[in-house]
Amino acid sequence: MISESVARILSELPSDVLLVAAAKTRTSDEILQAIAAGVTIIGENYVQEAEEAHSVIGEKARWHLIGHLQRNKVRKAVEIFDMIETVDSLRLALKIDEECARLDRVMPVLIEVNSGREPQKTGTFPEEVPRLLDELASLEYLKVEGLMTMGPRFGDPEDARPYFVESKRLFDELRSRRTSNAELKFLSMGMSNSYHVAIEEGANVVRIGTKLFGERGP
């Protein structure tokens, strides 16, 4: 039962850790069950899926984009989401800033860090994040509120630990710089198989799907 899974996860999370229910491929009914059980943030990977779910659910929860955002989807994304966790380039950020100016709203974002330096994946390599943070801090309708990382996928969550450690080190380093127009509050890392390790290494946002909703169908 989704309600039982949500209750169990919420009871074990530290009070300062936010749960994002990763709702990729889930139905509006499943998402509503999670909300009724106490979920307050829904994470969606795709703008089109989010648009469909949002049309049913609306403001009963907050909405985070946790998948890669294409520039041609930005206009719709800024109308739906309360936070975009996957900003990984100035080019994308400029488009978000442009569309948010149209709505006269400031969009909270996280910089997506490619902590494994995997060339086939999205995200900014750790050594490039400080420069990107400085560039994004100059934008009027966008506010950087932290970092997000996926890390390489492993069967053993312990193998992900070094990547979480590096992301936390980078997060602390950037926060100590006190960049104007940026307030680094959130470190989003860890999913269903690795969130325990991520929390041990400093995550205060975790993105959990399978352990809330069960295995996805074929």
Domain that holds residue 89: 2-213
Q: What is the CA radius of gyration of the chain?
A: 16
In the block, tokens 């648009």 appear at 51
Q: Within a domain: residue 64?
A: yes
Residue type, 65: L
The CA distances from residue 12 to 19, 65, 90, 130, 140, in Å, are 11, 24, 37, 34, 38
Has residue 13 been placed in a domain?
yes
The model's pLDDT over 133-157, given as tens digits with 9 standing for 90+, comes to 999 999 999 999 999 998 888 889 9
Q: Which pLDDT value is given to residue 204? A: 98
Would the CA dihedral through 185, 198, 190, 58 be positive or negative?
Answer: negative
- The answer to whether position 39 is within a domain reads yes
Write down the pTM of the prediction. 0.96
How many distinct structural domains can be found in the chain?
A: 1
Domain at 49, CATH number? 3.20.20.10
In whole numbers, what is the pLDDT of the chain averaged over residues? 96
In-domain check, residue 218: no
| pLDDT tens sequence across 28-70 | 999 999 999 999 999 999 999 999 999 999 999 999 999 999 9
Burial of 140 (0-12, 13-18, 19+ CB in 10 A): exposed
pLDDT in tens, 83-100: 999 999 999 999 999 999
Asked if residue 34 is part of any domain, the answer here is: yes
